[in-house]
Structure 1
Amino acid sequence: MSNLVVNQEILPDISKPKWDQSTYSGRAKHFFSSTNPLTLFSSAAQQEKCREIVTNYRKGIISDKLTVNELWKAKALYDATYHPDSGEKMFFLGRMSAQMPGNMVITGMLLSLYRTFPGVVFSHWINQSFNAVVNYTNRSGNSKTTNERLFASYCCATGGAMTAALGLNKLVKNNYGLAARLIPFAAIALANAINIPMMRSNEITDGMELKDENDNLVGRSRKMAVLSIAQVTMSRIAMAMPYMGQMSDSRPSINFSVLTPIIMNRITRTAYYRTRPWMQKYSEIPIQTVLAGIGLYFTTPLCCALFPQKSEIEVSKLEKNVQLEISKLPNPPKTVFYNKGL
């Protein structure tokens, strides 16, 4: 079989994604593959098999029955399941592939529990807790943090983000104008700006891992940590743009969708909808939840692709102390690489 890996004149390079990461389209194709929600349903045996294929291939151990397609499929599941720096299996709710189903369920919860203040607080706490898990799971590097610091970061992240979201929503509680429609998005943006840096605070204080072309750790940079966290924050805010806004004038407490009201407006004008009272009573929340899920299926990979996950920078552009540290190494690299996280 000509498709066997061992028959290839040039072996596939799985140290990088299958598609060109210097282009947006290449990054988008990669993230459509690695954030595919279907990967969550893979069995532990499948995941372990893919891990073995990838790790053995990196060591030069190649099965004579392994095809190129099988190799890339194994790499796709590996990327979706294991952390790119530590190689550890990521908590399934923290994987980017859980963004669509996780936020879809949270959307339904926010739509259902908007009537009471405890319901709003609980749903926002669940939302920010989920975000905190995703932010921590997809952090850069493989450095560990203490349980005490992790708990403090979680409390600050969820508490600060919830306060921001609820506080801004309170300002326009009885306002039905443009400001009320934009406040929910502003609340989400501010919540992300609090949650992400707090859950990745150790990168800011300790610095982001810098590696040479052979994947050897050569230093740490706080400058790159701040830049990477800012890029991730921008990506997460962009993910929320299509479905974060005020749902309708009749329900100012449900601040949820920019596109959904337009689609719902078209649905409610159809004869089928108008002639079925049960549909008018029970269908709104399920329809909007599904629409949010469809939106997230596309916005998650498309917004992850805004910036390269693995970036490079010239050593001369790093902090002076980091430059000095790297210059003392044998054969110091002129360019280093880092994983910005997701």
Structure 2
Amino acid sequence: MASVTNLPWDQSTFIGRLNYYARVTDPRLVFVTNATLNKAKHIILANQKGIKLPHVTKEEAIRARVIYNSAIHPDNGVRMNMIGRLSAYMPCATILAGALLTFYNPVRTMPQVIATQFVVQSYTATVNYTNRNAKSQTTGWQIATAYVGATSGAVFVSVGLNSLLVKAPILLKRWVPLAAVVAANCVNIPTMRQRELIDGIMVTDKDGNALGESRRAAAKGIGEVLISRIFLVTPAMLLVPTIIQVLERRSMLKSGRVFLICIQTLLSGFFMIVAVPIGCSLFPQQCSLRTDQLELSLQEDIKKKYDHPIPDRVYFNKGL
């Protein structure tokens, strides 16, 4: 049987990761049946136990790994909820981006702002929880705090900026949703994963042997997650309003508001298709840190575990 432990794309290179994430984030994987997922899981688990399945081809083994990784959490082996998976991110984020750009064109009413942010932050909280480091426990109170804080922050930024930009050019006003999303992510992600910052996350050597928990690794991981999430939405929420502004100046969007909404949503989808695999490739889920960058106490613990020179780097799952 072909090996499914190692992917055919070198994950130490950007191009290799791009090849991988372009497949794992494929929206069609959302519609994979339970039977197909169970078959992929059977192939992966059999390989992990050293059991050879004679009728599994190399292509089937690779496909099984992609399906398995798209739906099963790497930390606990539990099936992830459907809308929180990366394969669902592009279609869900496209619809939400279209809604944000529609209701902030510029901001219409306070109820629209609150309703839109309620939906957006509900989805963001779901994605954050689904793709967290599952070895760190997150309480219901922390989830609720992150959700309320992110929604409140996004509404405050949106309304505040629009108040300040009353006389600003219309294009500048149309970029307000991006500022609101950035502000919300800055609240949502760290708050949702605060236990990692307080207790640290498990780091391992290259062979997967646990070395201890590190708060510095958690800070690095969460920081990269924050940057990558902002990167994912920036092209759509920065460029789509600009394109719409140009089209409106040339009188190309006089067919009505429905046509405008469709154009905004389709353009958002295009930029999401490009941005999602690139963003994931720039900030991969499996992360590393130099050992000498860890807490001194953890470095001492690692030295006690090794009779030979300690590992140069430690590895951990930062989430996505």
**TM-score where L is the length of structure 2:** 0.88
Match of 1:251 in 2: none
CA deviation profile, 1:215-253 (whole Å, cap 9, x unmatched):
23221111111111111111111222222149xxxxxxx
Does the 8 Å contact 1:313/1:337 carry over to 2?
A: yes
Counterpart-to-counterpart distance in 2, 1:190 and 1:213: 36
AA matched with 2:121: Q
TM-score by length of 1: 0.83
Following the alignment from structure 2 to structure 1, what is the Cα–Cα distance between the partners of residues 151 and 120?
9
Distance, in Å, in 2 between the alignment partners of 1:210 and 1:244 is 35
Residues 80-229 of structure 1: matches in 2 within 5 Å? 80-114=70-104, 115-176=108-169, 179-229=172-222
Question: Partner letter of residue 66 of structure 2?
Answer: A
Aligned residue in 2 for 1:60:
50
Please say if 1:300 is aligned against 2:276.
yes
1:243–1:259 Cα contact (<8 Å) kept: no
Would you say 1:257 and 2:241 are equivalent positions? Answer: yes
Correspondence for 1:338 among 285, 307, 316: 316
Whether the 8 Å CA contact 1:165–1:191 is kept in 2: the answer is no
Q: Deviations over 1:6-43 (max 9, x none)?
A: xxxxx53x445431122211111111111111100011
2:114, 2:167 → 1: CA distance? Answer: 19
- 2:3 is the counterpart of 1:19: no
- Number of residues paired by the alignment? 315
**Identical aligned residues as a percent:** 35
Contact 2:146/2:187, CA 8 A, preserved across alignment: no
Deviations 1:78-109 (A, max 9, x none): 11111122211111111111111111221343
CA 1:108–1:312 in structure 2 vs 1: closer, same or farther (change >3 Å)?
closer
Residues 171/323 of structure 1: CA separation in 2 closer, same or farther (3 Å cut) = same
Kept in 1: contact 2:138–2:195 (CA 8 A): yes
Partner in structure 1 of residue 20 of structure 2: 30
Whether the 8 Å contact between 1:27 and 1:308 is mirrored in structure 2 is: yes
| 1:242 partner SS | helix
Deviating 4+ runs (over 6 angstroms): none
Partner residue, 1:311: 287
Higher mean C-alpha deviation, range 92-101 or range 332-341: 332-341
Superposition RMSD in Å = 2.5
Which structure has more helix as a fraction of its residues?
Answer: 2
User: Residue 190 of structure 1: SS of its match in structure 2?
Assistant: helix
SS of residue paired to 1:283: helix
Aligned-partner residue type, residue 316 of structure 2: Y
- Cα separation, 1, equivalents of 2:180 and 2:243: 18
In structure 2, distance between residues paired with 1:202 and 1:85: 16
Q: Which residue of 2 aligns with 1:287?
A: 263
AA matched with 2:23: S
